[in-house]
Structure 1
């Protein structure tokens, strides 16, 4: 079973007072774009890790609630702990990456081993992890995601267009 998890529990520190995941983009909350893309991917199940009821409502999929203010690793660990026992692979997406295309996710999902996006030499989500990697993911701490694990596995790198991997960190990024 291939499960998708949308990490959408960040603190939006660089965005200002409002939650960036709820900021409007093309008439919908920012996070809704990534959630919609995830639901269209070839996944057996998907859910989101969130820290607010408002974001949970905007994603429109099952959610796992975690406390606000944690790092990306907290969201990733929560996702791994929430996986059904029959999960063979976990696809990780970020709630602030609205520009991914269906083809981008299809490329990441086309492998059996670990896979991750790479653009301009930078490793990034979306990322796919086989079951044997789950214990490694559970060791992550702080604000660093799984990139530190994937950097040293060039066989996992899938080149994607930089425009697909653009994320939203500041209000100006929405323009």
Structure 2
């Protein structure tokens, strides 16, 4: 098992949100806080050795929540660039793994993160979450995978590594990834909320 105390959390919060419309999806209010802060709150109690966020222009103060902020000024180059920047910032003495999480997945739980740690066996580990059909983040990568993460290109990110790794199934609702206004509307409706829209 890999321990949280030797793991760096990398939160990916950079992206053009081109499918979302006029607003920045991470600043949309959901259950009383910005969408992009839910995973931060959920993972507050997990004792990571280091917390890194890769962001672009999003107006959320991750530094105030204990994150080292890395600015990605070229999010249009794809998810792989953010991954590379995050791993570069996370590397350091005693770091044996990185846990990759996405800021637009507001229902992630600490319980699922601990299940990923329990499934990891060492420095070659790749352990991803799954809804029972598709593996996806959050995902844990042992130190022997750092070089591979830093050489990825394009918008597929670590998809091939994740597909070949171990998968820990959890309820699909925990792994909702908000990419469009319709997806956010559907999620909010589950909690009796209705979102106001910006006028075009």
Counterpart of 2:174?
164
TM-score between both structures, scaled by the size of structure 1: 0.91
Residue 21 and residue 117 in structure 1: after superposition, are their counterparts in 2 closer, same or farther (change >3 A)?
Answer: same
Task: Give the match's secondary structure for 2:178.
Answer: coil
Q: Is the radius of gyration larger for structure 1 or structure 2?
A: 2
Separation of aligned partners in 2, 1:89 and 1:57: 21
Task: Tell whether 2:114 aligns with 1:106.
Answer: yes
Where 1:39 maps in the other structure, the secondary structure is: coil
Distance in 1 separating the partners of 2:157 and 2:50: 22
- The structure-2 alpha-carbon separation of the partners of 1:53 and 1:151, relative to structure 1 and needing over 3 Å to count, comes to closer
User: What SS does the corresponding residue of 1:164 show, helix, strand or coil?
Assistant: helix
Separation in structure 1 between the aligned mates of residue 174 and residue 62 of structure 2, nearest angstrom: 25
Contact 1:35 1:59 in 2 (8 A): no
Return closer, same or farther for 1:5/1:142 CA change in 2, 3 Å cut-off.
same
State the Cα deviation string for residues 140-168 of structure 1 (Å, max 9, x = none). Answer: 11111212112123xx1111111100111
Match of 1:45 in 2: 50
Unaligned ranges ≥5, structure 1: none
> Which of 23, 32, 35 in structure 1 is aligned with 2:28?
23
2:194 maps to which residue? none
Residue 71 (structure 2) aligns with: 65
Distance 2:63 2:96 in 1: 28
Separation in structure 2 between the aligned mates of residue 38 and residue 31 of structure 1, nearest angstrom: 13
Q: Return 5+ residue gaps in structure 2 as ranges.
A: 1-5, 189-200
Give, in angstroms, the shift of residue 118 of structure 1.
1.3
TM-score by length of 2: 0.80
**Which residue does the alignment assign to 1:132?**
144
After TM superposition, the structure 1 stretch with the greater mean CA deviation from structure 2, 36-45 or 98-107, is 36-45
Give yes or no for contact 1:48–1:59 (8 Å, CA) kept in 2: no
Q: Secondary structure at the match of 1:134?
A: helix
